[in-house]
Structure 1
Amino acid sequence: MPTIHREPRFTYDDLVDLVEGQLRVVELTAINAEIGGPGERLWLSEPGTGADVYRLWRKGKGARTYWAVDQDRPWDALVWLREALAEVLERLTRPGSATRYALEEGREERDLAVLTELETVWLSGLSPLSEVFGPRGADLELTRFLLIPAQAELARATAVRSRMLREHFGTGPQAAQRVATTMGWEPAKAQKTLSAWDEYRGWVREGAAHARATVPVHRPAGDTGLPDVLAATLMTAACGSEPVVPDRPSPVALPDELAPWYVFSQYLGASIAVADEATYAPDADPRDYMHLVPVAMVLDLGWTVRDGLIVSLLPHNGFGVAYDEEAVRAGGGTPLGSADVPLPPGQGTDRAIPPPE
């Protein structure tokens, strides 16, 4: 989490006031009761005022600790929140066998309160998308990032179970009957379970073929000095699901340094594939730092060339890069507020081939 305020510049009370007194936030008391130490606080932006998580906590080690306020985007915060709340989530996964619930009456209600706040963080990450594209856009994103991974994990677990039974009972004509007799299952369930290992691998191969046929791969317009596969990976990450118009020149003059990373996006117009200086690291996932940015906006922000990439410090809002609409217009694009902009292109394509049951 990036630190935005800290001691010794501000006292503890100042840090609290910088959040509660100057920002519109709600406190996540149930989560903080589980993960926070003495004096630590956790907040979330109020609905409609952005989407940020703020944490006031003690950082550092040993005698070199200090109070700090960190700020994170909701979906980034969910990574460390889920890790910190692992015991709570484990109890909610197996409530019927949770020793803590047997020992402590009412513990489940506190855990459910934690879950409610965790859901609120999830939904705050979706709210900017919902405001722009409506509930359908938010639902597609939730399905893509939450439901499909959960379904795929269940399919993998079922495949492991299938392999275990196949190794014990074999795969011959009588295998399903032996499984059914030994396990006390219906023959149909036994047969389906034995088939799950092959079905999962078939699903992966079918998905890979679908990806090769449907997922756009974009390559830089010129020589970047990088290996071809790496350059294509970076450009593809920047373009994401943006529809690209091939061979369309930029109406904004391009400096030579920017030209290899130029592309024309149907919605953003003349654009450059840019690595965000705030998140760029050579070993990071390009999808976390590569973005298409209107040419005019890059010219205004400034840039450097690092590791063969165009690097610039990009402005952000609650959803992602905050695009300058005038720069979009200057490059021949369609500003986000226009009625001509549909749901995010490519959203929900992971559902084309659902995981095997």
Structure 2
Amino acid sequence: MATKVVLDFEKPVIELEAKLDEMRVCLNKSAREHNTVETDELNREILALEDKVEALRRSIYQNLTRWQKVQLARHPERPYTLDYIYMMMQDFVELSGDRHYYDDKAIVGGFARLEDTDAGYCRSVMVIGHQKGRDTKSNLYRNFGMAQPEGYRKALRLMKLAEKFNRPVITLIDTPGAFPGIEAEERGQAEAIARNLIEMASLRVPVICVIIGEGASGGAIGIGVGDRILMEENTWYSVISPESCSSILWRSWKYKEQAAEALKLTADDLLSQGIIDRIVEEPVGGAHRDPEAMASTLKSVLIEELTALEQKQPEELVRQRREKFAGMGVWNEEEGE
């Protein structure tokens, strides 16, 4: 059985939850033995402890530092792209290869059906995202979610295919960055990402981008130009990771927490800066605590956003998307002498 990963700031809650489980075992034993007095007393203690656990959990997760949110975004039990696809969608048909060199397993994508009978919504969509592994073998297979040029070219091929058949594009972003190897640069890593930025800005179908974990640098923006940019509550999105920033500024990784604070890379930070459009709420404790609930919430948000975007004409989508990204940042223009 795999060992459960517990982050340092989660330990007080995990310890109380373990105590709660022990008390429930005792309660079941007492009930089987028909010890009414002991059963009633245990019931009262369990209810009191449940309230205490819930209060502690909310207190911890409502006051996370930026570095702690980075840790949650990297949690190995957090749902990845394929998890979301199979929990949210039906009839997923994966499409492979960039038609030039090979199939990059760090990016997956294909057509799928996004459906909610209660909302009366059913739509075929193109879903594309970074995919990490769960263990050493699968991480090597997926290159730790770090795409190479072929991954971005595959993503672009699928986006253009979606445009051809008038299907919305949904991208799920979760990467520590584009693969930095020399061979990736030799095969045109920078050009592949730059080409995606140009082409995504001009796609004539709705495009929604969701940061579901890590959103690092060009690796993230390579599939991150859309009409609506969403971030799950405990994710990060930045031009550089806290560790790399610390290494550059302080010549050491020891200052990663200070770097995370300075980078302002959380969903709340980016919403206030106008970089993203919406925060998708996670279950208390993070998406890994209840992946099904997280997928259900994200699915509802995607349907709501797509319903609004599909009311717009292609020309309006392209114009607003370009204006959105052109308006980011702060700059001054000075006339020359």
Give the structure-1-normalised TM-score. Answer: 0.31
Structure ID, larger Rg: 1
Give the structure-2-normalised TM-score. Answer: 0.32
